[in-house]
Amino acid sequence: MNAPKRGRRQFLKESVALAGMALGAAATASAQTPEGAATDVHPKGVVEPYGVRSRFEKSVRVPEPNATHQAFARSLGALTPLREIIGTITPSGLHYVANHGYYPPVIDPQQHRLLIHGMVDRPLIFTMEELRRLPSVSRVYFLECQANKANPRKDNVDDSHGKTACSEWTGVPLSLLLKEAGVQSGADWIVAEGDEAGKHAKSVPLSKVMKDVMLAYGQNGEPVRPENGYPLRLMVPGFEAIYSVKWVRRIKLVDRPYMEYQEVTRYTTKDAKSAWFNFEMGPKSVITFPAGGQRMPGRGYFQITGLAWSGGGAIRRVEVSTDGGKTWNDAEIQGPALPMAHTRFGFSWKWEGQEAMLLSRCTDEQGQVQPSLAEFAKFWGLTPEKALSDGGGMGHFNMIQPWKVSSDGSIHNAILS
């Protein structure tokens, strides 16, 4: 326990020294800076009606590797730039996008309707205005695509893990509406359907619905963005993101799950039934700095940082290894660890130019521990190579992601190395 404390104290000591040098340099630079060079952010004192970020900030969503412009807008979508995310909340404009082959529909919220029917006593239709008048809740939840997985061919953390994001969602608990409609005996599932051209639909167990599923119309303090389901989306915390149906227009109470298009064509294996009922995302973490595609700026103390999350609840522990898993140290969980939300972790590390292998692993409140590649492969009865090629079909591929720091400071994906 004392070693991490000494490391943090040394880290702070050296940081203060570096800050002092920087202040001196800044003072010298300011004396040489032309007058008015830093006064052009808001020329003529204009304040934008809808705020814009500084022109010096360039973060944007990342098109998926090898995606064409058409694919960027459609099925392949775009990735969250995880290495540039600060804290745990993903800005709405950087939230990853997966549209399953259809453009986001243009929906007038005044014309949108939500139908609740099937095995209910009173079928109901709600307008958006009526939904907003009901008691609301705000919850921080992550979303993660089932295809978000480590891959030896992905050079950086955005490409390998960018199909996840975390937002504060605001809306109405679906249980409130179902109680008003009156759930009939024998109803055990819902089928939620979206309003895009493909009418994407998913079956969700009623037990999950009554626990924490919500109808979200707000995201990070504003209406949900069009590519993320405007004006209304289902939010199924902890489950594969594909269950959180976007542009939701219809919810049907039924007595069994329905095999909808996505299950039949894309999300099944030879053992279709067991794969189909694999809802909850397992514990996962990834180091976002230092990470693949980045370079160490020089020797000295650094903060290894990253994100951890789990569909099984809150993250209780994150460990970091700098020697390829031979030894592990507890990282600091920075801020509250919320259930089914991204959790930021940090670990102070001194790099002296040596080769290093960086890994992180997390444990959630159920005691589930993020597996290594070998552990994941053994569970499924596969070789590591076969697990890497079939990982998406074998379950949620939440294996530990290793990053190799070379002596020249370059950082590379180290799976199977």
Regarding whether 399 and 311 lie in a shared domain, the answer is yes
Nearest to 358 by CA among 284, 283, 292: 292
Distance CA(283)–CA(276), nearest Å, equals 19
Regarding whether 141 and 240 lie in a shared domain, the answer is yes
> Can you read off the two tokens belonging to residue 216?
């979200």
Q: Which of 217, 234, 268 is the last residue of a domain?
A: 268
| DSSP 8-state class, residue 73 | H
Regarding whether 302 and 264 lie in a shared domain, the answer is no
Let me know if residue 397 belongs to a domain: yes
Per residue in 299-354, pLDDT (tens digit) is 999 999 999 999 999 999 999 999 999 999 999 999 899 999 999 999 999 999 99
Q: What is the pLDDT of residue 24?
A: 45
- Note the Cα 179 to chain centre separation in Å: 31
Regarding whether 209 and 328 lie in a shared domain, the answer is no
How many domains does one find in the chain? 2
With vertex at residue 156, the alpha carbon angle to CA 161 and CA 240, rounded to the nearest 5 degrees, is 5
Regarding whether 251 and 305 lie in a shared domain, the answer is no
The model carries a pTM of 0.87
Q: Which of 239, 268, 297 is the last residue of a domain?
A: 268
Nearest to 241 by CA among 159, 158, 164: 164
Regarding whether 300 and 409 lie in a shared domain, the answer is yes
Regarding whether 257 and 230 lie in a shared domain, the answer is yes
Q: What is the pLDDT of residue 160?
A: 92
Q: What is the pLDDT of residue 30?
A: 44
Regarding whether 362 and 261 lie in a shared domain, the answer is no
Let me know if residue 63 belongs to a domain: no
Phi and psi for 39 in degrees, rounded to 5? -115, 15
Could you tell me the CATH number of the domain that includes residue 372? 2.60.40.650
Let me know if residue 109 belongs to a domain: yes
Q: What is the pLDDT of residue 73?
A: 45
Ranges of residues in the chain whose predicted pLDDT is under 70 = 1-45, 65-76, 259-278, 390-395, 417
| DSSP 8-state class, residue 94 | G
Please say whether the beta carbons of 89 and 140 come within 8 A.
yes
Let me know if residue 160 belongs to a domain: yes
Distance CA(306)–CA(164), nearest Å, equals 13
Let me know if residue 302 belongs to a domain: yes
Q: Which of 237, 268, 299 is the last residue of a domain?
A: 268
Regarding whether 356 and 230 lie in a shared domain, the answer is no
Let me know if residue 233 belongs to a domain: yes
Regarding whether 142 and 184 lie in a shared domain, the answer is yes
- Output the DSSP codes for 387-403: HHHHTTTSS---PPPPE
Let me know if residue 158 belongs to a domain: yes
In sequence order, the 6+-apart residues with CB closer than 8 A to the CB of 155 are: 292, 293, 412, 413
Alpha helices, H only, 121-271: 128-133, 157-161, 174-181, 206-212, 261-265
Q: What is the pLDDT of residue 100?
A: 74
List beta partners, residue 359.
321
Distance CA(399)–CA(360), nearest Å, equals 10
Place of tokens 């943090």: 8
Q: What is the pLDDT of residue 151?
A: 85
Regarding whether 161 and 195 lie in a shared domain, the answer is yes
Let me know if residue 113 belongs to a domain: yes
Regarding whether 290 and 221 lie in a shared domain, the answer is no
Range of the domain at 372: 284-413
Could you tell me the CATH number of the domain that includes residue 121? 3.90.420.10
Q: What is the pLDDT of residue 43?
A: 61
In sequence order, the 6+-apart residues with CB closer than 8 A to the CB of 150 are: 160, 161, 373, 388, 391, 397, 399, 400, 401, 415
The rounded radius of gyration (Å) of the Cα atoms in the chain is 23
